[in-house]
Amino acid sequence: MYGMDHQIQQADIERHIFHIRGQRVMLDRDLAALYGITTFNLNKAVRRNPDRFPADFMLRLTQEEHSALRFQIGILKRGRHAKYLPSAFTEQGVAMLSSVLRSPRAVQVNIAIMRAFVRMREVLAGNKELAKRLEAAERRLGDHEAALGEHAAEIRAVFEAIRRLMSPVQGPRPSIGFKPDKPGES
126-155 per-position pLDDT tens digit: 777 777 777 777 777 777 777 777 666 777
- C-alpha span between 1 and 8 (Å, rounded): 11
Question: In degrees rounded to 5, what are phi and psi of residue 171?
Answer: 155, 160
- C-alpha span between 25 and 43 (Å, rounded): 16
| pTM given for the model | 0.60
Residues 6+ apart with CB under 8 A from 150: none
User: If you classify domain 10-118 with CATH, what class do you get?
Assistant: alpha beta
Asked whether the predicted pLDDT for residue 13 surpasses 70, the reply is yes
In the chain, domain spans? 10-118, 125-166
Question: Bridge-partner residues for 26, per DSSP?
Answer: 17, 89
58-89 per-position pLDDT tens digit: 999 988 888 887 766 655 454 455 578 899 99
